[in-house]
Structure formats: structure tokens, C-alpha cells
Amino acid sequence: MLAKPFEKFERRKFVSRLKEITVLQFAKPLWKSLNEQDKVELERLAEAALQKYFARI
């Protein structure tokens, strides 16, 4: 799970990674089902994870 954290979600087609530009893309039906509060929370969690990751480097 730590080596490929999104593999499980990719297999279920919830997200896809665009390898050439290192972007994570949510499935459109899933993204549309999220409300604004969900999206804000996802952004906050992603930002915190990135800060934690880069603090280790």
C-alpha cells in the first residue's frame, strides 16, 4: 500500500494517474457526487500529505 498508495483506487476506477504529468484524476461520477465541503477537505488532506512528504526530503 505504501509503495503504490493509489493502486487499489485505480483498480476500482475511482481515480486514474496521468503518468506523463503526475496528476491524479478522479472519476467524473465520483467527483460529481462530492459536495464542496468534501472537495475542500480532500484538498486540505492532500496539501497536508504533500507538506509531510516534502518535510522528510
Number of structural domains in the chain: 1
The 10 Å CB-count burial string (b at 16+, else e) for 31-50 is eeeeeeeeeeeeeeeeeeee
Domain that holds residue 46: 7-56
Say yes or no to pLDDT of 57 above 90: no
Domain-located, residue 19: yes
Domain-located, residue 1: no
**Residue 1: its pLDDT value, please?**
41
**Residue 21: its pLDDT value, please?**
58
